[in-house]
Chains A and B, each alone.
Chain A
Amino acid sequence: MPVATCPVTIRIQQDDFDIAREIAVLTGNRTDIGAVVSFSGICRGDEDSAKIAALSLEHYPGMAEEEIRRHADEATSRWPLNGVTVIHRVGRFMPGQNIVLVLTASQHRQAAFQAAEFLMDYLKTNAPFWKKEESATGTGWVEAQARDDEAAARWTRS
């Protein structure tokens, strides 16, 4: 059996992304892909019942791309993937706007589902991005959540 090629695309950008277009780019003319899982993270309009007016995202250029690449490489070594796309936006966002996109392609759905979840769990806790919330009461940096650390920890291999 030939080894499946697994192109990995990682982009950090201010512009929005088009999910359908990104899936078309990922699958192309290939006929070996049987499953594509798509996760999009969207700016919420409230946090713990407090209204959010906008969200600003800052990142560490250079390290952010490298860190996502390390996780994508780990995902491709753990699951039989045929393609990975991660797009993370930076800048200022209003509720309802896209923030992050993760696409994973595989022959079968299980690998694609698991790899997408793995990538998002690690992205939240290990990729150098920081969110600042603007609300009626002022602005403040979003605090890291223990539940995100727990979500990432379940993928740790002993």
Chain B
Amino acid sequence: MKVKYFAWVRERVGKAEETIEPPATVRTVEELIAWLSGQSEAYAYAFEKPKVIRAAIDHAHVKSDAAIAGAREIAFFPPMTGG
């Protein structure tokens, strides 16, 4: 699946997007954040406060317990500050 990062999450991860293949045991957004955090210090830094991170699956906001099965694109970003 494709993963995108925005604003300071992007800066901390060090890339805007990538394709990942998490193990089948990673079933929810929350579990994906935990799995990514274990991949490197950059991810651990980006996701150090997981409750602050917002997520979207296929362009729609989701909660942290949302299932990631079948997702084409998952995005992680800080609370929005547009307008």
Residues of A within 8 A of B (CB): 41, 57-60, 62-64, 66-67, 88, 99-100, 120, 123-132, 141-144
Residues of A with C-beta under 8 A to B59:
60, 62-63, 66-67
In B53-83, the 8 Å CB interface with A consists of 56, 59-61, 75, 77-83
Say whether, besides A60-B4, A63-B56, A67-B59, A144 and B79 are in contact (CB < 8 Å).
Answer: yes
The winner among B4, B79, B83 for most chain A CB atoms within 10 A is B83
A62 to B59, CA, bound (A): 7
Residues of B with C-beta under 8 A to A143:
79, 81
Describe A's contact surface by its main secondary structure: mixed
Closest to B75 in A: A60
A57 to B78, CA, bound (A): 14
Contact B80 A125 (CB under 8 A): yes
Query: Chain A nearest CB: distance from B17 CB in Å?
Result: 11
The answer to whether B8 has its CB under 8 Å from any CB of chain A is yes
A60 to B75, CA, bound (A): 9
Interface size class of B (residues with CB under 8 A): 10 to 19
Contact B83 A130 (CB under 8 A): no
Query: Chain B nearest CB: distance from A1 CB in Å?
Result: 35
Given contacts A57-B82, A128-B75, 6 further A-B contacts (CB under 8 A): A59-B82, A60-B56, A99-B83, A120-B83, A128-B56, A141-B8
